[in-house]
Amino acid sequence: MTRIAFFGLGNMGLPMARNLAAAGFAVVGYDLAERARRRAAEAGLAVADEPTRALEGAEVAITMLPAGPQVREAYLGDGGILDNAREGALLADCSTIDVDTAREVHRAAAAAGFTMVDAPVSGGVAGAEAATLTFMVGGHDEAFARAKPILERMGRAVIHAGGPGTGQAAKICNNMMLGIQMISVCEAFALAERLGLAHEKLFEIASRASGQCWSLTSYCPVPGPVPQAPSNRDYRPGFTAAMMLKDLRLAQETAARVQAATPLGAEAAQLYQLFVAAGNEGLDFSAIIKMIRGDRDR
């Protein structure tokens, strides 16, 4: 039975690790936070209280950590994964991080003889729980071939984006589109309200016309048209405004480094910065309609 060490048992990591265990892998989880370790153990996952213990005998190590600094520390830090993983182990980082850190960790892993993929996800906590995530995978062909059957147990689409770091590149490009798209849908609904056009009618028409997009038809920012959207539950996430801001910032940092013009991405990052600074970091990202509309209670 393949042994997997799973690092980062937070909102995403715990359900992902549980799905791997349910699929028959021998999973041992580890999280820096004692509270997360306790929650995972209560959920029935085997948990180690030291990273080295989780790695003992593991053929695969998966990380689902907050951001680049934690990923760098987990892999490259003293006593980290590269120092302690079993020879020839497959390493998969599923966190959303900057492309440069992803490539730095890839290089160090290759130099130490490991096979690695960056494999960030789309689909949120609901997708992690239901094992319906989309994985965007960067790495060499052999690494992708080894990772695919494992990632498939946590998701329904596992797509090879290209060489090392291209999974992270795909993730920030996708989420930059999403952030811009959500703001455009919010602006359209706010304008329609002022023009006396009912939400349901704008939805009915735009979802069958050229304004159609995921933010409208799967995640509508006004309550009613899409019953499962966070707008129907006071914008409880979902995908928080803080997470959207994190991804838009990653896109901006990367765009500046490679001198790519992303004027609407920059504007979206600024608008989410304003929204988060006003204390809305924990709301779903579609709640930005409140700011765009000029609601007083936001």
Query: In the set 3, 8, 275, 290, which binds ligand NAD (CB under 6 A)?
Result: 8
Peptide bond into 238 cis (omega under 30): yes
Question: Which residue lies nearer to ligand NAD by CB, 95 or 231?
Answer: 95
Query: In the set 52, 76, 110, 124, which binds ligand NAD (CB under 6 A)?
Result: 124
Please count the residues of this chain forming the interface with ligand NAD, following the rule CB under 6 A.
26
Query: In the set 10, 29, 139, 265, which binds ligand NAD (CB under 6 A)?
Result: 10
DSSP 212: -
113 lies in the binding site for ligand NAD (CB under 6 A): no
What does the alpha-carbon distance between residue 206 and residue 225 come to, in Å, rounded to a whole number?
12
What does the alpha-carbon distance between residue 48 and residue 243 come to, in Å, rounded to a whole number?
28
Question: Which residue lies nearer to ligand NAD by CB, 85 or 206?
Answer: 85
The two beta strands, 115-118 and 60-63, are unpaired
Question: Which residue lies nearer to ligand NAD by CB, 6 or 189?
Answer: 6
What minimum distance in Å lies between the beta carbon of 74 and ligand NAD? 4
Q: Are 68 and 39 in contact (CB under 8 A)?
A: no
| Burial class for 15, CB neighbours closer than 10 Å (0-12, 13-18, 19+) | buried
Residues 52 to 81 in contact with ligand NAD, rule: CB under 6 A: 64-67, 70, 73-74
36 lies in the binding site for ligand NAD (CB under 6 A): yes
* Nearest to 89, CA basis, from 80, 97, 98: 80
SS3 36: helix
What does the alpha-carbon distance between residue 79 and residue 29 come to, in Å, rounded to a whole number?
17
Question: Which residue lies nearer to ligand NAD by CB, 63 or 202?
Answer: 63
What minimum distance in Å lies between the beta carbon of 95 and ligand NAD? 4
Give catalytic status of residue 246 as yes or no: no
What minimum distance in Å lies between the beta carbon of 20 and ligand NAD? 15
Active site residue ranges: 171
